[in-house]
């Protein structure tokens, strides 16, 4: 998944695709998209019914990842399976620290799943630390815990510089990728912020 600022990025499309297929609903969504079946043919399947009004914005990219085409944007977002959802919510909450709306706004720029807003609200409302800090804006900032990484290349963070003038090659963003353990930095010019573009850099 792609992240904003320090939001962790997993640049392993194969793993994301596998995790999408482990969930029964996303597995069915992928099958419908892969077979090119009409969404009308899923009538009667309660799990797929929830996606009925959203199928026109879903697609499979070259890596087989179910992706969401954001409105009024060239950004295509990965659909995050249930097993991966808590981490991006927590990380966006740590970055925003301003409540449900800002946390959700930050998250929806980088990922998508049905019911995302409700999950963000549920998390922020149930967060004991958030409730303790509510109303106390004079307290010291909470310390952040380091993320455990066992080997080089396991974890990367991604930042974007934008918007920049479009180059003759059609690039308008600078992507900065930092390997978490070694702090190795890779920089590239890219035409968009799509997960498929970044994973191919």
Domain range annotation of the chain: 13-133, 156-199
Q: Please tell me the predicted confidence (pLDDT) of residue 129.
A: 61
Q: How far is CA 186 from the centre of its chain?
A: 20
| Binned average pLDDT, 10 residues per bin, the chain of 201 residues | 41 83 88 76 64 81 87 80 88 74 85 88 75 53 62 77 84 84 85 78 73
pLDDT for 108 equals 85
pLDDT of residue 21: 92
CATH class of residue range 13-133: mainly alpha
């Amino acid at each position: 998944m792609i992240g904003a600022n320090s939001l962790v990025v997993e640049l392993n499309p194969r793993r994301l695709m596998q995790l999408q297929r482990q969930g029964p609903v996303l597995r069915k969504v992928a099958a419908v998209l892969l077979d090119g079946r009409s969404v009308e043919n899923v009538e009667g399947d309660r799990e797929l019914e929830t996606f009925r009004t959203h199928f026109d914005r879903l697609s499979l990219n070259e890596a087989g990842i179910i992706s969401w085409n954001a409105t009024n944007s060239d950004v295509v977002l990965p659909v995050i399976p249930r097993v991966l959802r808590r981490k991006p919510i927590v990380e966006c909450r740590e970055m925003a620290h301003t409540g449900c709306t800002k946390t959700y706004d930050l998250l929806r720029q980088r990922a998508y799943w049905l019911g995302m807003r409700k999950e963000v609200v549920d998390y922020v409302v149930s967060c004991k630390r958030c409730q303790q800090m509510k109303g106390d804006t004079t307290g010291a900032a909470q310390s952040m815990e380091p993320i455990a990484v066992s080997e080089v290349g396991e974890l990367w963070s991604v930042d974007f510089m934008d918007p920049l003038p479009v180059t003759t090659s059609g690039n308008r963003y600078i992507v900065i990728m930092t390997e978490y353990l070694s702090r190795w930095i890779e920089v590239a010019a890219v035409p968009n912020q799509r997960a498929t573009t970044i994973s191919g850099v």
